[in-house]
Amino acid sequence: MVPVGRPRTHAGHDRAGGRPLTDFDFEPYRHELRVHCYRLLGSYDDAEDLVQETFLRAWRSRGDFAGRSSLRSWLYRIATNACIDDVRRPRRVLPYQLESASFPAAALPARDDLPWLQPFPDVLLDRAEEPDAQVIRRETIELAFLVAIQHLPPRQRAVLIFRDVLGWSAKETAAALDLTVAAANSALQRARPVLRAQLPPHRAEWSVTASTAAEQALLRKYVDAWEAGDPDALTELMHADVRITMPPYPFWFQGRDAARQTLIPNLDPTYRGDWRFLITSVNRQPTLAAYLREPGDTAYRPFGLDVFRIEAGLIAELTAFEYNDFRRHNLPDYLASA
């Protein structure tokens, strides 16, 4: 069984540096390691698995830990190398990376065979304390950053995260990845321009904090327009070139006209049922948790998470994840009918 929390050990010390075996308590680092693995992999589920793999590898090699670095640094090194081994899988994607914007003539099936980017619960971000950072900055966990960083080779991805996200020195980064300092610096120089090229324009103008009061007010207007069944009011809240994706469906839409055409059927209760929304946040971005009450049901059930990117007071992007594991986000299992 993989050790979690403080493992049971016999009395005494390990032979590599005289460290008491009972000092190997990995559990306090679980939350920040999960965020670190998530940044590298773009998948919450894979990050969970890789944290467990990290603890397993660390426990098996605990005799090699000589105390030349902190336990935290040692665990980060193990976690990073476990993720680098794992990211030989296809990179995580969103629909707009696969094909051009289109409006399908007929409904297309979900593509569960594709490695979709996954959302990360803010309730867990609030519990993670990275080195030198009490709050995980929004620009290092938002969907746009995660999509962009997936374009980097695994080792460059790791170097950029260590240097530009966690604030590690070149020497610390090189040691974690078994590189020379020169190689670590070279990898960072190659990674930064690729990242900038993949990020949306005007990113520097976005809010760098968790969802702001103005963004919350915009979501309330969006919900009001939805409840009023007013597609014009909805699209007025969007930029002219708004982008809408709906993983796990491979198609996506661009522009207000396409957005209006997409939204109109869902505003009709006879199409799927009645909707209700709760305002929340995911990946430090303003989010609506969507609940659907299908015909004949007595409650609203979890349906998906609508994650918004807002620029200059309007919706620039909507990523609608069809996803119902709301407990992970500390959201209700259902909403009762009024």
Q: Could you tell me the CATH number of the domain that includes residue 165? A: 1.20.140.160
Shared domain for 266 and 134, answered yes or no, is: no
Residue 144: pLDDT band (50, 70, 90) is: very high
Tell which phi-psi region holds residue 255, choosing left (phi > 0), alpha (psi between -120 and 50) or beta: left
Q: 176-179: which pairs have CB atoms within 8 A and are 24 or more residues apart? A: 176/73, 176/76, 176/77, 176/80, 177/77, 177/80, 177/81, 179/155
pLDDT digits (tens, 9 = 90+) for 107-119: 788 999 999 999 9
pLDDT digits (tens, 9 = 90+) for 191-244: 999 999 999 886 665 555 556 889 999 999 999 999 999 999 999 999 999 999
Domain boundary among 178, 205, 232: 205
pLDDT digits (tens, 9 = 90+) for 273-328: 999 999 999 999 999 999 999 999 999 999 999 999 999 999 999 999 999 999 99
> 301 lies in a domain?
yes
With a CB cutoff of 8 Å and minimum separation 6, the contacts of 64 are: 16
> 17 lies in a domain?
no
The share of the chain scoring above pLDDT 70, in percent, equals 86
In the chain, the amino acid numbered 121 is P
> 9 lies in a domain?
no
- Residues 146, 83: Cα–Cα separation, whole Å: 15
> 257 lies in a domain?
yes
- Residues 243, 261: Cα–Cα separation, whole Å: 13
Shared domain for 233 and 188, answered yes or no, is: no
With a CB cutoff of 8 Å and minimum separation 6, the contacts of 28 are: none
Per 3-state DSSP, the chain is made up of helix, strand and coil in percentages (nearest 5) of 45, 20, 40
Domain boundary among 188, 205, 222: 205
Domain boundary among 154, 170, 205: 205
Least confident of 151-155, 191-195, 208-212, 251-255: 208-212
- pLDDT for res 187: 98
Q: 301-306: which pairs have CB atoms within 8 A and are 24 or more residues apart? A: 301/334, 302/326, 302/331, 302/333, 302/334, 303/275, 305/119, 305/280, 305/329, 306/277
Shared domain for 136 and 256, answered yes or no, is: no
> The domain containing residue 225 runs over which residues?
213-336
> 52 lies in a domain?
yes
Shared domain for 165 and 298, answered yes or no, is: no
With a CB cutoff of 8 Å and minimum separation 6, the contacts of 231 are: 260, 263, 264, 267
Shared domain for 201 and 226, answered yes or no, is: no
Nearest CA to 284 out of 117, 125, 129, 148 is that of 125
Shared domain for 285 and 317, answered yes or no, is: yes
> 15 lies in a domain?
no
DSSP code per residue over 250-310: S-EEESHHHHHHHHHHHTSTTTS-EEEEEEEEETTEEEEEEEEE-TT-SEEEEEEEEEEEE
pLDDT digits (tens, 9 = 90+) for 303-312: 999 999 999 9
Mean pLDDT of the chain: 87
> 88 lies in a domain?
yes
Q: Is the pLDDT of residue 142 over 60?
A: yes
CATH assignment at residue 299: 3.10.450.50
Shared domain for 81 and 194, answered yes or no, is: yes
- Residues 187, 91: Cα–Cα separation, whole Å: 19
Shared domain for 274 and 189, answered yes or no, is: no
Task: Tokens for 256, please give them.
Answer: 């207000």
Least confident of 7-16, 35-44, 316-325: 7-16
Domain count, the chain: 2
Shared domain for 28 and 133, answered yes or no, is: yes
Shared domain for 31 and 172, answered yes or no, is: yes
Shared domain for 75 and 196, answered yes or no, is: yes
The reported pTM is: 0.88
Residue 2: pLDDT band (50, 70, 90) is: very low
- Residues 240, 250: Cα–Cα separation, whole Å: 22
- Residues 160, 32: Cα–Cα separation, whole Å: 17
Task: Please answer whether residues 177 and 184 qualify as being in contact, where contact means their C-beta atoms are separated by less than 8 angstroms.
Answer: yes
Q: What is the CA radius of gyration of the chain?
A: 22
DSSP code per residue over 139-166: GGTSHHHHHHHTTS-HHHHHHHIIIIIS
Shared domain for 170 and 100, answered yes or no, is: yes
> 268 lies in a domain?
yes
Task: Please answer whether residues 221 and 237 qualify as being in contact, where contact means their C-beta atoms are separated by less than 8 angstroms.
Answer: yes
